[in-house]
């Protein structure tokens, strides 16, 4: 959609900030029905008041009034559909922290519950969200977080490999170590190989497979 029609879609998406929803647990259905009523009436002032602060900055009351006047019939039809008995309302909230982390909350049985958070990742609704969560756990060097964003199969495979490596390192003194200058290679039972490098007199793991 372009022009005024694009504005109608924008109104539908952002018209949820109602004074009636100022309670600790906002009623998403009440907001949707209030929007439906305003759309059916063609009440531009009410629709503008329901928009988010950012959306109100982007569109003046006059611009919203123009959109409503141009698309009165479509808005009325839209409002009637929203107010219909078969409409299902889903509410989702996003909380952004000062450090850029986000938590997503879904409404269930009248209460918001955490569906995803930076510290408690569990996959994403879209591939982009899943990648954002992967970046966060990698940036925090969080092994536990990484396990939660992996698919069950990949997680099980990685945990099996880690368990096998732990078992293979039960007796480090008995493992064959091939030292070449400042580098060493260790064959670990279970098909693993660990490469070490000496730096400043200290041996450190350089690579492992």
State the pLDDT at residue 88.
72
Residue count (the chain): 209
- The tokens describing 104, both together, are 């997503």
> Cα separation of 180 and 15, whole Å?
69
State the pLDDT at residue 178.
92
Work out the average pLDDT over 108-112: 62
Q: Token pair 């200058």 is at which residue?
A: 181
Quick: pLDDT tens for 6-52.
Answer: 444 444 444 443 333 334 555 667 777 888 888 888 898 988 888 87
Could you tell me which residue, 48 or 143, shows the higher pLDDT? Answer: 48
- Contact call for residues 205 and 195 (beta carbons, < 8 A): yes
- The tokens describing 126, both together, are 């879209």
State the pLDDT at residue 96.
65
pLDDT interval class at 195 (50, 70, 90): very high
Could you tell me which residue, 88 or 117, shows the higher pLDDT? Answer: 88
Cβ-Cβ contacts under 8 Å for 105 (sequence gap 6 or more): 92, 93, 94, 95, 112, 113, 114, 115
> Cα separation of 13 and 86, whole Å?
19
Please list the residues that pair with 194 across neighbouring strands: 186, 208
Quick: pLDDT tens for 54-107.
Answer: 788 888 898 888 888 888 888 888 788 878 777 776 767 666 666 555 666 666
């Amino acid at each position: 959609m372009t022009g005024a029609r694009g504005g109608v879609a924008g109104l539908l998406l952002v018209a949820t900030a109602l004074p009636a929803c100022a309670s600790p647990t906002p009623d998403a259905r009440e907001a949707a029905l209030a929007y439906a009523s305003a759309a059916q009436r063609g009440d531009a002032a009410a629709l503008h008041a329901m928009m988010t602060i950012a959306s109100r900055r982007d569109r003046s009351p006059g611009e919203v009034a123009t959109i409503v006047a141009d698309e009165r019939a479509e808005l009325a039809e839209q409002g009637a559909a929203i107010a219909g008995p078969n409409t299902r309302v889903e509410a989702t909230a996003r909380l952004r922290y000062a450090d850029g982390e986000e938590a997503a909350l879904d409404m269930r049985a009248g209460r918001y519950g955490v569906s995803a958070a930076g510290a408690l990742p569990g996959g994403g609704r879209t591939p982009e969200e899943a990648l954002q969560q992967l970046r966060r756990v990698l940036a925090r060097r969080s092994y536990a977080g990484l396990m939660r964003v992996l698919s069950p199969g990949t997680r099980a495979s990685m945990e099996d490999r880690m368990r096998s490596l732990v078992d293979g390192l039960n007796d480090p003194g008995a493992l064959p170590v091939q030292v070449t200058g400042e580098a060493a290679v260790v064959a670990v039972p279970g098909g693993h190989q660990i490469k070490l490098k000496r730096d400043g007199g200290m041996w450190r793991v350089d690579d492992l497979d």
